[in-house]
Structure 1
Amino acid sequence: MHSKGAEFAGCWKYGGSMILVDVQVPAMDRVYDFELDEELTAGILVRDIEALVAKQEKAAKGKGGDRYLYSLRQDGILRQEETLKQQGVHDGDRLILI
């Protein structure tokens, strides 16, 4: 699957459709498979993804500043206050946690 990655599905159900995306986490040198509710905002997902990755890797959650999701396909940072659906994130997209 991913040469330097790992599979890890995080599922949230808010009422929207679920989409499957790859989330690259450079700090861990890994790529994770996530199933995400497209009706959740990028800001909520950043916090949840960070917590789940830290738990999976048995690592301390970062204490740094704000983190964002960067969309490779869209070549831009996702707006924290908007949902994945509003920002056009689709199945198969690659997001990078920055």
Structure 2
Amino acid sequence: MSRSYVSAAVRREIAEKDRHRCAYCLSSEVLSGIALAIDHIVPVSAQGNSEPDNLCLACRSCNEFKGNQQVALDSVSGEFVPLFNPRQQLWSDH
């Protein structure tokens, strides 16, 4: 079994934890009618694991934007900053 395998039980746990919303933009899976993907917050390519504390739901747009990145260029400061981590940060503080 690969490092990135996520069981159906863990998928359900993550969906419940994230209230069936994208952890990044808060889009609702129920309202959109489109299944959200399981995202590795720390990518597998960066030695991220498939444990629940490293997984979240992500809509297609957020998942594609994030890709395997952990930082992004801040257009205001011109500096690279860490991307939002839904397991360590609160959306209301972001």
Higher strand share: 1
Same fold, judged at TM 0.5 (above): no
Q: TM-score, normalised by structure 1?
A: 0.28
Higher helix share: 2
Q: Which has the higher contact order (CA 8 A, sep 6+)?
A: 1
Q: TM-score, normalised by structure 2?
A: 0.29
